[in-house]
Amino acid sequence: MNIDSSYLDAYIDQIRVLSGLELNNSLQRVLTAFREVPREPFAGKGPWKLRSPLYSNSAIFTPNADPRHLYHCALVVLDEALGINIGEPTMWARLLARVDVAESASILQIGAGTGYYTAILSKLAHAGGVLAFETQKTLADLASENLGAQRSVDIRHGDGAVDLQEGDGPFDLIVAFAGVTHPVEPWLDRLKPNGRILLPITGSRGWGAMVLAESGYPVMNAITLGPCGFYPCAGARDDALARRIDEMWKDRTRMDGWKMQIGLRSNTARYRVDGKEFYVRHLPE
């Protein structure tokens, strides 16, 4: 069933306004990608359960299976027990516009879900490619089914933090759609010299901030791009470091526009806070 163009127009305009960004070439490209990727194939059969980004503890079913109900700036619940959703469009539109994904970019996506944002990434990097990992086999199978015809997309069932193969990469951009406490070595080893990593750095309860970091060793320069909450990325988490991250994000002014440094050396993750203090955790081998 094709969605009425008026609903699609309203959806795209809602994303534009709520992104809080000036309409420039980068945001226009992102909006075009959202317009070209229908939501319903990735949401499954309706009615659907939608979660408000303002009231995250509340999710309601759509009145029926009319796909127009999917064209709102809300999360689509995929697995409520595990806390897996199709992420909120405004947040991702804002993030991707600020990243300004190159058309020729080679992208690693951690947490493909059913492939909705994989499809949007592939639109933005139409002359490059996307390698996407999903740990939940049911979701990975759906993503493969949804995107199987796209040659520039490779969907794999597995943990993108530990299951990368020889020959994968190098990547211009690595994007995690699951919460991490630190960037892991397999990602850093496959990041191009001028590459970037977009990560949700989250604490013990899944809440934290999106961080965009530039390639660098032993220190990566980074900036926060706003608060977030995410399902955990199993292969890129450390419980003790998560508790320190909780402390780091107590000051919510740090969550957007805050310049920071991520130090990674000798199996140690360091976050430099306000240019003064380090949060340090020796990670397990």
pLDDT at 2: 67
Mean pLDDT of 266-277: 69
Statement: the pTM of the whole predicted model exceeds 0.85: yes
pLDDT tens-place string over residues 113-144: 999 999 999 999 999 999 999 999 999 999 99
Better-predicted residue by pLDDT, 276 or 249: 249
Predicted confidence at residue 174, as pLDDT, reads 98
Tell the burial category of 13 from Cβ atoms under 10 Å away from its Cβ (0-12, 13-18, 19+): exposed
Per-residue confidence (pLDDT) for residue 240, from 0 to 100? 87
42-74 confidence digits (pLDDT tens)? 999 999 999 988 877 778 999 999 999 999 999
pLDDT tops 90 at residue 82? no
User: What pLDDT is attached to residue 278?
Assistant: 57
User: For position 280, what pLDDT does the model report?
Assistant: 58
Residue 83's pLDDT band, with cuts at 50, 70 and 90, is confident
Confidence band for 225, pLDDT divided at 50, 70 and 90: very high
Check residue 80 and give its pLDDT. 87
Q: How much is the mean pLDDT over the chain?
A: 91
User: Considering the chain, what percentage of its residues have pLDDT values greater than 90?
Assistant: 75
